[in-house]
Amino acid sequence: MERHMHRSLVIGLLASVFALTANADAASPAEEPAAEGRAPLSYPRTRTAEVAEQQFGVAVADPYRWLENDVRSDAEVKGWVEAQNAVTDRFLATLPGRAALERRITEFYDYERFGAPVKKGGRYFYAHNSGLQNQSVLFVRESLGGEGRVLIDANTWSADGATALADWTPSEDGRYLVYSIQDGGSDWRTVKVLDVATGEDTGDEVKWVKFSGMEWAKDGSGFFYTRFPEPQAGQEFQSTNLNARIYFHKLGTPQTADRLVYATPDKPSYGHYASVSDDGRWLVVTTAEGTDDRYEVHAIDLRDPGAEPKALVTGLENNWSFIGNEGARFFFITNKDAPKLKIVAMDVGRPGNPVTPVVAESEATLDGASIVGRRLIASYLADAKSQVSVHDLQGRKLSSVDLPGIGTAGGFRGDMGDAETFFSFSSFNRPTTIYRYDVRSGEVSEWAVPKVAFNPDDYAVEQVFYASKDGTRVPMFIVRKKGTSGPAPTLLYAYGGFNVSLTPSFSPTRLAWLEQGGVFALANLRGGGEYGKAWHDAGRLAQKQNVFDDFIAAGEYLKANGIASPKGLAIQGGSNGGLLVGAVVNQRPDLFDAANAAVGVMDMLRFDRFTAGRYWVDDYGYPDREADFRTLLAYSPYHNIKPGVAYPPMLVTTADTDDRVVPGHSFKYIAALQAADPNGQPHLIRIETRAGHGSGKPTDKIIEEASDVLAFFARFTGLQLP
């Protein structure tokens, strides 16, 4: 399913004004009360420095700025990380039931999993995990029902399982496979090519690739990709990503011979994504400057070696996500005059590239579309739940795809001439199942069904709607084991940003929480994409406080309606959701009983100075513009921590190789929190090694971290573990 082009820059992005002054070293001994039954806890000493900057008449202190330095090259930061991890590890080891919880999560993870197949040249390529493999293995079949053959097993690449197979794309004839390698969780990729018949690498290698697709020329002669200039030594994980360029790599040649295809040297902040049209004639270049779905589109005629890019859409004003083409008729998803999106066709063979409607905007939000077997398959979100409809190329609705229930569908990849496609379906209580869809008959059949060590029917999923502070109606999913009655320890999760929609999905770790009688809630806050552009706009820039209000209202609803225990509400969020957790803990420390801010953006005044942070100004604003600065300063987690406030127990999680949201955000935040509340509840940081923002993390690290977080939540919400 073709989705919004720039989402790879968004997923997992992302901080109070803190009243600490930049004075002498601050020792932060933290004594936990003996009445709580906990051993005394002393935080490592964190040095402060007299760092303050005048911004628009405001003196902004930043005493922990030195913690922004890279742990790989700064001995002091490395020592601080080791000292913090030692304190955290000792504390986590004392949590009741933690070992039993890890065993149970491991059991839930130990089931066979498949990815949706991709068909090329009569071959079927798909990912498979036998259960507890750290990395899924890429297989190929010569026919749909044939025996699978291992193509790539990333589990053999490193002893710690932290080197992962990232993206992969077979050539049109299925002869070659281009794939990328991710090491230690970094966003950087090394790209190689495999001969599918022999299973051997061809020797082709491309480096310094990031935020890129890999698009084959239809004749299999090579592939298009996006890369950045090689960073300076020592700055690989922190320097800002600028000057993205599209290249073509011809098989059998060195990277130094790669041909530059598209670049905008006069606009270094522009990012570019390449797609090859269905007929192979056109290279479609989609350009964005930030994370918003606001694109320019150019087409390059691949039949003419000297062809100049032809401008199809200019101005960076609307979403124009390329779906595919039928000759000169290019299909796009757009939000131009359609806040919940629609499908249009552009005739690139006529002057002015006239646009005509194909599938009109509907009440549900269009989430993606693809062309398979001369059919448009459109995926919608109706109150954050998947619906799928099938249309002819003129836009007439032919049918709907029957889905198994309330959940999330994805996939539907294929070509104009294919008679079949595959899709995945999952929900909170149902692991991912892969289905085959016959494009002509509309028949849906099971292709890979997981066998799990629990009964999905033991768990109930419901959706409620609650009122936010300003009266806005916000949806929330609530999941619990059937028979769970009365208030119970509850885990509330949300994101609220970057037009990202949270939909039902299966998690073995959350299942372990539910099995013990806990409740899981997922709130669909403003700032996401669940209800289209207006919903996104209502939760970003000057409206960002709406996101925090929505989350606080969700917590109040859960307690007021007897779902969460009076002292049993834990909250969790990652990336932009980590920012969310930090902000609401500052604003309502009395409401939440435990919190986990994962890989969060915590310093809202400096986020744009590292790696991909510059893209996020679309949602957050520009720290160097006064109006945006004052908005950011009002909620920045790092800057709004206040001494003397009783903050709830907090476990911050991050990783040393996170080059999406650099770990300095979390380092500075926890140092400030420990200093402001040294004798209060535990405020700890868990720093993973050889891991990044989340993608590529090996299964054993996922299980270990989840066990720590859930045991921490259980300890402070009253959930009884074995």
Q: Which residues are catalytic?
A: 575, 693
Six-digit token string for 696: 């590529």
697 vs 161: CA distance, rounded Å: 8
Q: How many CB atoms lie within 10 A of CB 350?
A: 9
Instruction: Tell me 1's DSSP state.
Output: -
Question: Phi then psi for 492, rounded to 5 degrees?
Answer: -105, 130
Instruction: Tell me 48's DSSP state.
Output: -
3-class DSSP assignment, residue 312: strand
3-class DSSP assignment, residue 468: coil
- C-alpha atoms less than 13 angstroms from C-alpha of 299 in its C-beta half-sphere: 21
Cβ atoms of 29 and 678 within 8 Å: the answer is: yes
Helix spans in 232-362 (H):
none
* b/e 668-683 (16+ beta carbons within 10 angstroms → b): bbbbbbbbbbbebbbb
636 vs 15: CA distance, rounded Å: 4
As beta bridge partners, residue 448 has 434
183 vs 289: CA distance, rounded Å: 27
Instruction: Tell me 34's DSSP state.
Output: G
701 vs 184: CA distance, rounded Å: 12
Cβ atoms of 133 and 155 within 8 Å: the answer is: yes
Cβ atoms of 522 and 476 within 8 Å: the answer is: yes
- Listed in sequence order, the residues at least 6 apart from 118 whose beta carbon sits closer than 8 Å to its beta carbon are 124, 125, 126, 169, 170, 413
Looking at residue 646, its amino acid is: A
581 vs 591: CA distance, rounded Å: 12
> Going along 264-418, which residue ranges are E strands?
271-276, 282-288, 296-301, 310-313, 320-326, 329-334, 342-347, 355-359, 365-372, 375-382, 385-391, 397-400, 408-411
Q: How many CB atoms lie within 10 A of CB 11?
A: 17
Cβ atoms of 439 and 426 within 8 Å: the answer is: no
478 vs 489: CA distance, rounded Å: 13
3-class DSSP assignment, residue 156: helix
